[in-house]
Amino acid sequence: MLRKLFFSFSQDIEKVMADKLTQVLKATKVEVIDTSGGCGSMYRLEIESPEFQGKSKVKQHQMVVDALKAELAGAHGYSIKTNIPK
């Protein structure tokens, strides 16, 4: 039961993060993957957004972290991959 509850929470927070990135960064592609096995402590984020155009990778990653400040507060770690649409 507890594992099922964690899994449900993980899926919910992944959707919340994906929706927020889509809205805030006008992302054209978003992948939010819980890499912690379902407990929500580690994430892999892949975002493609025209908002990244002309910005360094560091600035792009800062934009992602700023957009998800509340959602990432409880995470132990995350990896971010950003791209500009072709």
pLDDT tens-digit profile of 13-53?
Answer: 999 999 999 999 999 999 999 999 878 899 999 999 999 99
- The average pLDDT across 66-70 equals 97
Q: Is the pLDDT at 9 greater than 60, yes or no?
A: no
State the pLDDT at residue 4. 43
Q: Which of 66, 69, 25, 68 is nearest to 47 (CA)?
A: 25
State the pLDDT at residue 72. 94
| CA–CA distance, 11 with 31 (Å, rounded to integer) | 12
Confidence of residue 5 (pLDDT cuts 50, 70, 90): very low
State the pLDDT at residue 7. 44
CB 1 within 8 A of CB 35: no
9, two tokens: 């929470």
